[in-house]
Structure 1
Amino acid sequence: MTDYLAKIEAETTRLAALSGDLSVPVPTCPGWTIADLVTHVGRLHRWTAHVLGNQAQERIWSFQVPTGLPEGVPGDAAWLTAGAGEMLETLRATDPSTPVWSWGPEKRASWWPRRMFFELLIHRVDAELALGVDPEIPAETAIDGIEELLHNLPSARWVTKPLAELGLEGATIHLHASDADGEWTITQGPAGTFTWERGHAKGDVAVRGPVAELLLVLYGRRSPAAVTVHGDQDLLDRWLSAASL
């Protein structure tokens, strides 16, 4: 079983180390600086701790949870690390089977560690790209990240609504990792939902490249130009734009 808590600790350390100059713009999060990025991540950590600590059964918005920061003051590396520590302590203390709200398909505490790990990993990548650092994501982590994202997105109303407006029911997108044992086919369904399955297949558009690059393309952190695309490029561009998390 993947130890997501240890991975969260490691990713927090990496992001904190990238947070020296909070004024650096973050191109993959338009309008943000590193300060905004750190504040966003630290807020999510405190939100997660609040949701789990209170065993919330209804949605609580992250902005409703106190951050401990004076109004208008962004977070920094120490504040980020403290929030991650609070979240990790709560995750360790919470029975994974505990019923609790989530925006994903599982409404229990076990949903949160994997989701928060990938939230943190992608924002670490944002910081690295802002600083001109080439991100490194192990292949097995990228595979897990692709499947975690595809598993959760059909439950996200802010994704299914724009997907429904595209009128792409029945369209297929095939992802093929060039450096790992990973292939997936996404099939667009009704009302903006979609299904996916592992394995080789022919899609209306096929996307092939290193698995870490495929993950970053799905998250909108890399352009499809970073990988090889065969077939309906317009379909891919429209789907990625609507499915952005």
Structure 2
Amino acid sequence: MTLLAFDRYCDEIALQVARFAELVTAPGTDLTATVPTCPDWTVEELTRHMGEALRWVEVTVRTRAEREVESQDVPDGAGPAARGDAAALAAWFTEGGEKTVRTLREAGPEAGVWGWAGVHTAAFWARRMTHEITVHRADAALAVGAPYEVAGEVAADAIDEWLEIVTFVQRTDPHDAARELRGAGPDGTRSIHLHATDAPGLDAEWLIELGADGVAWRRGHERATVAVRGPLTAVLLAFYRRAPLDGGEVEVLGDRAVLDFWLERATFG
């Protein structure tokens, strides 16, 4: 598995910030609408969450933090005082995104900084925020009924990173749900195959094994207990629990219960 270039991640954050802000200010966007894939949030609350996260990362990288930065130490992290002002919200969001990208570029990929997944460099945050905003932009698009697309190499890397995070959590600090992913089924190791049908040049296929020693995964085309097939963006959204398995965008073949088992338990922790 090869990571994208550091500058590619920075470019993608900038692109996703711009597209997210466009959703916020688009005609007809209701900032009070509930986000279906994050039902505890409205569109405005989702935007504020993502905007605060960007500013938090900016402070983390700029100060070369050696431990987790407290939210109260993030300048202007809460966003505009007035609610319901799409223009002010988008301007605050955009400013935070631009600061984050600028700080990441100035730091460079090897800059040492605290990280929570075993990687302590600015490169970790460039990659993490690329996928954080890529997926949350999908949440926003679904909430306002807008189309959603993402570059194939970014979508494939987002799946890689999700699998890396799940295995890291299980290996280092497993919660109850993560522990349940460990252990073979009655007929041996349970497995999941993800198969993007529209990205042959990206090797966009994955095998995930739930064995007695924990979760293991690799890129490749192999038989599995259950398979998910479809366009890469659709596979990404289904695997991130942003799109229903029965929505017609992906096809599930084999033992659906194994896939449901994974989706219910695979989290950040």
Question: Is the TM value for this pair above 0.5?
Answer: yes
Identity of aligned residues (%): 38
Task: Flag structure 1 segments of 5+ consecutive residues without an equivalent.
Answer: none
Deviation of 1:201 after TM superposition, in Å, equals 1.0
Distance 1:146 1:79, change over 3 A: same
Equivalent residue number for residue 19 of structure 1: 24
Distance 1:230 1:77, change over 3 A: same
In 2, distance between residues paired with 1:196 and 1:62? 34
What is the TM-score when the length of structure 2 is the normalising length? 0.82
Candidates 171, 188, 198, aligned match of 2:219 = 198
Deviation of 1:71 after TM superposition, in Å, equals 9.2
Deviation of 1:72 after TM superposition, in Å, equals 6.9
Equivalent residue number for residue 32 of structure 1: 41
Candidates 128, 143, 154, aligned match of 2:156 = 143
Deviations 1:94-153 (A, max 9, x none): 132122221223221111112101111111111111111231123232222212222233
Question: Which deviates more, 8-17 or 146-155?
Answer: 146-155
Task: Flag structure 2 segments of 5+ consecutive residues without an equivalent.
Answer: none
In 2, distance between residues paired with 1:135 and 1:206? 24
Confirm whether residue 216 of structure 1 aligns to residue 237 of structure 2: yes
Give, as a single letter, the amino acid of the residue that structure 2 aligns with 1:173.
I
Confirm whether residue 89 of structure 1 aligns to residue 108 of structure 2: no
Local SS of the residue matching 1:3: helix
Equivalent residue number for residue 123 of structure 1: 136
Confirm whether residue 186 of structure 1 aligns to residue 231 of structure 2: no
Deviation of 1:63 after TM superposition, in Å, equals 6.3
- Contact persistence 2:228–2:251 (CA under 8 A): yes
Deviation of 1:36 after TM superposition, in Å, equals 0.6
Local SS of the residue matching 1:76: helix
Deviation of 1:163 after TM superposition, in Å, equals 2.3
In 1, distance between residues paired with 2:100 and 2:43? 21
Deviations 1:21-60 (A, max 9, x none): 3212211111211111110001111110111122122233
In 2, distance between residues paired with 1:214 and 1:104? 24
Candidates 15, 29, 43, aligned match of 2:52 = 43
RMSD: 2.4
* Matched length: 244
Deviations 1:187-217 (A, max 9, x none): 12457x4221111111111111111111111
In 2, distance between residues paired with 1:213 and 1:236? 15
In 1, distance between residues paired with 2:251 and 2:115? 35
Distance 1:187 1:61, change over 3 A: farther
Confirm whether residue 232 of structure 1 aligns to residue 255 of structure 2: yes
